Structure 1
Amino acid sequence: MLPDETMPPDDTARLRAAAAFVREHDSTTLLPLLLPGIDGPDLRTLAERCRFAHAGTLLFPPDAQSLRAQLDACGLAADTPSHPSVVVRDRLARRHRRDPAELDVRILRPQVPGAAGERRAVEVFALTVPPHSALEPIAAYERTRRHEAHLAFEIERPDPLVLRGLCATLARHGARPDGGGYNPHENGTVLYFTTPADSSCGYRRLELYAHGDHRGALADHLGHQGERQPAETLLHLLTGAWTTQALASFARLRLPDAMDTRTACRTEDLARLTGTHPRGLDTLLRYLVMLGAVAHDAGPGPQEGFRLTELGALLRTDEPASMRPLALMYGGPFYRSFGGLDHAVRTGLPAFDHLFGENHFDHFARDPELADLFDRSMAASARMFRPLPAHPAVTAAARASAPATVVDVAGGNGELLGQVLTAHPGLRGILLERPHAVEAARRLLDSAGCGARCAYRAGDFADVPSGGDVYLLSRVLHDWDDDRCREILRHCARAMPAHADLLIVERLLPADGSPSLATAWDLHMLCNVGGRERTAAHYARLLADAGLDLRGHTPLPLDAHVLHARKTPPRP
């Protein structure tokens, strides 16, 4: 199909250039071009959380047929479906002082694979401009200014804390808010930024795209609360408990297992499959659409129904990185304990102990099902461990001439130790845990093929094995107060040879008070275990009290960090 000659040639060139750009770049290469000077933890955080999704361009076809011809001429799918663009329509209306109803702006995203086959697109905004219409001056102006040309990054697993943190990171590197909006037609929130003047990739606008309704974060981004009054904002926050229970019920009823990410399922059919009430199920699913866990396809006849999103698929039981155990834990025992938060705030003592009559470690140990759920919920966050086997302390031990040993203190079900031993076949491991957890760890490590290289010790912190080369202490210290932390660290220090390394995995409270998952977990620790999250400086003091030096810390996924410590050298 030949392009329609009524389509201006610069639109053709712009569309073809956008498609080529999308094919050639990825997040890691683009971010330093957009934000000169960004590197280290900030670059890693953005690259991990923000997937380069598309390049956006605004075109001005005289009619739908011309647009299809244009797409076809550029090697893009001419039959790509479209829907109304609310955000760009409103921006154009404000810029040109037009009634939005006059502007027929459609949005479509023909797919363009990345260099390695990544799922990407060109985002085409199409404002229909018939020949000799009153809209031609708008087209001429916009072609020159390219206000809507942008590069978009889709946020993985967006939530308010993540959105605020990403916006703060962009601001630190010179990006400035430049509008945004919520599009109900696709249930997506966009935050636009202008990049620094010295950015060098040809695009001056950056978009963060978050699936779902994030108008609270949008209002913060825009610098005012005009789109949501304080009472509305508070009401939105007060219903957060509904979100937790909706996701937990979704998981408990195994609805994700009965759904697919590609094919929609009618409510009536899904209700029959899962033994649920059609109306009740429909109400739940529509709420989950707002959360981004489910998508609603409003096609005709059998095409109408609900399907899983990538976010919702994380609650499937067969998903390798399933977060279903976390949903059951946060919607179960820990949900109940938060009902006693006022007790924890008044007394400083855990609400869990107050409600259940014992601490959560003992409570779970008495109930095999709860103990198993707790272990699986801890393992569900295992993605935070993925970079750990590449830590210099671990790789140095793996390269040592003599076989080195990694000691995982309170290693849970062995998920972390298994990742380290799998990555480094020459290493040996020792896992220390309470008796009820040791057998679960043995099964997991055997199934991972590294059980023969691992020894197991049932015991407490006083039983830390001596003679190891690398010691792991993952998500342990935040369970305890400072005195108990010092005691645990002293046990580790006594067991460690002079050359040994101690790697501590925890979430760190930002020293500047910026938004972080660690702040939320700090409240969780107060309520459920009586522990706390800490700053890096706080951990450094605890380590020093135990005769250990903090050598540094590096970020991990899910707002975690690995702190590296060694024994303090004796003074001469």
Structure 2
Amino acid sequence: MTPTPSTTMDPSDSARLRAAIYFVRVHDTAALLSSLLPGLDGPETRALVDRCHFSHAALSVFPPDLPTLHTELAGHGLRVDPTAESVPSAVVRDRLAARHGRDPAELDVRILRPSVDGPLGTDRTVEVFTLTVPPGSRLAPLAAHERAHEHEAHLAFEVRRPEPLVLHGMCAILTRRGAVPDGGGYNAHEDGTVFYFLVPDGSATGYRRVELFAPGDHRAVLGSHLAVLGEASDEESAETLLRLLTGAWTTQALAVFAELGIPDAMSTERGVTAGPLAERVGAQAESLARLLRYLVMLGVAAHDGRGGFRLTSLGALLRADTPGSLRPLALLYGGPFYASFGALGHTVRTGGTAFDHHFGAHHFDHFARHPALADLFDRSMAASARMFEPLTRHPVITAAGAAPGPTTVVDIAGGNGELLARILTAHPRLHGVLLERPHVVEAARGTFAAAGCGDRCTCLAGGFADVPGGGAVYLLSRVLHDWDDDRCREILRHCARAMPADADLLIVERLLPTDGSPSLAVSWDLHMMCNVGGRERTASHYADLLSAVGLSLVSHGPLPLDGHVLHARKAVS
């Protein structure tokens, strides 16, 4: 039987709770982010909205007892699962203890999360941090101070599919637009990591604090977040560094997972125990179970609650038959590129390419001599097809597709034709020319035939000096980052020579950030230095390369996977 409340809620607690409930019911994610961070631009807003959603408003209350709080919540039409009372909040407890000079052991802070319907029926909650303060309690001054200052009031955005680089990038966007790191922590009871920020004074919401909530243990990212405040302890710093040092284990675990075809033998809906799964993939059961336990920690697999394992949506990206499968990348990064990264020290010491040093040949030449590796490389390039889809709707491509008469798109070093096939499929009036190395051309013909556009595409075997004239649009997708500046200028010079005066050049690359923010481009820059001898560049660097050959950078815009498309034309004399 539920005990009878002993008294009523403090009027301030009631008013703040009522306001939080109303706030959660009426606000949507995009508008709320723009209100919190007025400086956000369109691409940044889209990047955040794609990766997180507004989940709750939080406040702290200090009821005389829990039954009184439950009665108050019921008066607002809210109910709380009684089991939620057992969830402690170590993060808020420690913050309260530090602010008020208290022993954390005397602050039994609990979290209640009554559900609230948001706009269009979205599932949201009000997060209520509860510390019971009976009449006459020596905690009464603490409660009065917290009610007046609302230190723990915040708005929370839950991150979808949190990955370290995504979390680093989201934190970077917030700080770039004026938000200031304000602590955070990992809650083992909920297996979730929180990152707190203070938003600029210009926020129109009435809330100063924002929380990013990432399901899972992300203390490695949290360490750098706390380090900004000098809050990371020696123990936390050591743990963060240890997690970073074991990154090679993750690469190999994912590569073996893909190599053995384990994702293809698992279901995202039904669990399977290690024994039967080992028989299917030709593995030893106990070793496989230990691998899967590690992959559960990464979010690639999950426990089914009955001693088995199921595949997550993240792990499903490593299935061989998944559209846009990343399996080729796992095999490539866990195979030849993994081996060459062992010689990264050679690159740093000498400036030479580690791949060449390890394998005795440039990676393009090495792959050309090993057809299976060449095929894996071409499939790995196509695995990033998510970057391509918005390109089919680029204004230059759309205009070419709507132009009267025959119009041609020339894809230079276009691999197995994945990008060009997507463009021709989206625009049935376009014709295409693919220029590639002889051993790749046959595979590209198969891509065009499978896409139903083989009759509209010509495949040319040749090098950069063979760029054909007469095109309306020329494409260089992830080509220039393979080469040093001299070679890039040579490639661009061949393009400029072949391009008609009114032709457009679209360059797809990752752009290095100019503000030091985390980006896949920074990671790939190290990869290009180690394995290819190339580099990633800033937009201004590409503008200089283009200008040197009589081309002008018109604009650049974002693509998925931290990609960008740069639009260039012949410079006006």
What TM-score, normalized by structure 2, do the two folds share?
0.86
Q: Deviations over 1:272-324 (max 9, x none)?
A: 55444343233323333433334446x5xx3x554444433332334334322
Q: Deviations over 1:237-266 (max 9, x none)?
A: 322211211222222233333444555555
Q: Which moved more, 1:16-25 or 1:407-416?
A: 16-25
Q: Percent identity?
A: 64
Contact 1:68 1:79 in 2 (8 A): no
Distance in 1 (CA, whole Å) between partners of 2:94 and 2:349 is: 49
Aligned to 2:286: 279
Aligned to 2:44: 42
The alpha-carbon distance between structure 1 residues 115 and 267, as it changes in their structure 2 partners (threshold 3 A), is farther
Q: Deviation of residue 405 (structure 1)?
A: 2.1
Distance in 2 (CA, whole Å) between partners of 1:382 and 1:192 is: 34
- 1:121 is paired with a residue whose SS is strand
Q: Deviation of residue 267 (structure 1)?
A: 4.6
Contact 1:389 1:395 in 2 (8 A): yes
- 1:455 is paired with a residue whose SS is strand
Q: Deviation of residue 105 (structure 1)?
A: 4.0
Q: Deviation of residue 198 (structure 1)?
A: 1.6
Q: Choose from 142, 151, 156 the match for 2:155.
A: 151
Contact 2:401 2:407 in 1 (8 A): yes
- 2:561 is paired with a residue whose SS is coil
Q: Deviation of residue 131 (structure 1)?
A: 5.8
Is 1:184 the equivalent of 2:188? Answer: yes
Contact 2:78 2:114 in 1 (8 A): no
Q: Choose from 420, 444, 468 the match for 1:441.
A: 444
Is 1:564 the equivalent of 2:571? Answer: no
Contact 2:112 2:130 in 1 (8 A): no
Distance in 2 (CA, whole Å) between partners of 1:326 and 1:359 is: 19
The alpha-carbon distance between structure 1 residues 285 and 139, as it changes in their structure 2 partners (threshold 3 A), is farther
In structure 2, give the amino acid aligned to 1:248.
Answer: A
Is 1:85 the equivalent of 2:89? Answer: yes
Contact 1:24 1:114 in 2 (8 A): yes
Q: Deviations over 1:449-473 (max 9, x none)?
A: 4444333222222222211111110
Q: Choose from 213, 218, 221 the match for 1:217.
A: 221
Q: Deviation of residue 126 (structure 1)?
A: 4.8
Q: Choose from 485, 490, 499 the match for 2:488.
A: 485
Q: Choose from 323, 342, 348 the match for 1:320.
A: 323
Contact 2:80 2:112 in 1 (8 A): no
In structure 1, give the amino acid aligned to 2:207.
Answer: Y
In structure 2, give the amino acid aligned to 1:316.
Answer: R
Q: Which moved more, 1:426-435 or 1:448-457?
A: 448-457
Aligned to 1:510: 513
Q: Deviations over 1:332-362 (max 9, x none)?
A: 1110111122232333332222222322223
The alpha-carbon distance between structure 1 residues 54 and 432, as it changes in their structure 2 partners (threshold 3 A), is farther
Q: Deviation of residue 543 (structure 1)?
A: 1.2
Distance in 1 (CA, whole Å) between partners of 2:66 and 2:242 is: 44
Distance in 1 (CA, whole Å) between partners of 2:260 and 2:41 is: 44
Contact 1:56 1:148 in 2 (8 A): yes
The alpha-carbon distance between structure 1 residues 58 and 461, as it changes in their structure 2 partners (threshold 3 A), is same
In structure 2, give the amino acid aligned to 1:430.
Answer: V
Q: Deviations over 1:399-435 (max 9, x none)?
A: 3233432221111122222332333333332222223
Distance in 2 (CA, whole Å) between partners of 1:75 and 1:269 is: 46
Is 1:396 the equivalent of 2:399? Answer: yes
Is 1:204 the equivalent of 2:208? Answer: yes
Aligned to 2:423: 420
Aligned to 1:31: 33
Is 1:528 the equivalent of 2:531? Answer: yes
Distance in 2 (CA, whole Å) between partners of 1:16 and 1:254 is: 53
Q: Deviation of residue 175 (structure 1)?
A: 0.9
Cα RMSD over matched residues?
3.6
The alpha-carbon distance between structure 1 residues 437 and 106, as it changes in their structure 2 partners (threshold 3 A), is farther
Contact 1:288 1:294 in 2 (8 A): yes
Contact 1:351 1:527 in 2 (8 A): yes
Q: Deviation of residue 505 (structure 1)?
A: 0.8
Q: Deviation of residue 232 (structure 1)?
A: 4.6
Distance in 2 (CA, whole Å) between partners of 1:110 and 1:418 is: 50
Q: Which moved more, 1:153-162 or 1:247-256?
A: 153-162
Aligned to 2:408: 405
> What does residue range 342-491 of structure 1 map to in structure 2 within 5 Å?
342-491=345-494
Q: Deviations over 1:471-520 (max 9, x none)?
A: 11010011112222112111111111111110111112233444332222
- 1:387 is paired with a residue whose SS is helix
Contact 2:555 2:568 in 1 (8 A): yes
Unpaired runs of 5+ residues, structure 1, are none
> What does residue range 13-32 of structure 1 map to in structure 2 within 5 Å?
21-22=23-24, 24-32=26-34
> What does residue range 95-106 of structure 1 map to in structure 2 within 5 Å?
95-106=99-110
What TM-score, normalized by structure 1, do the two folds share?
0.86
Contact 1:109 1:121 in 2 (8 A): no
Contact 1:3 1:66 in 2 (8 A): no
Distance in 1 (CA, whole Å) between partners of 2:114 and 2:437 is: 54
The alpha-carbon distance between structure 1 residues 208 and 284, as it changes in their structure 2 partners (threshold 3 A), is same
- What number of residue pairs does the alignment pair up? 564
Is 1:249 the equivalent of 2:256? Answer: yes
Q: Deviation of residue 162 (structure 1)?
A: 4.2
Distance in 1 (CA, whole Å) between partners of 2:140 and 2:267 is: 45
Q: Which moved more, 1:195-204 or 1:223-232?
A: 223-232
- 2:546 is paired with a residue whose SS is helix
Contact 2:324 2:382 in 1 (8 A): no
The alpha-carbon distance between structure 1 residues 437 and 378, as it changes in their structure 2 partners (threshold 3 A), is same
Aligned to 1:238: 245
In structure 2, give the amino acid aligned to 1:182.
Answer: Y
- 1:192 is paired with a residue whose SS is strand
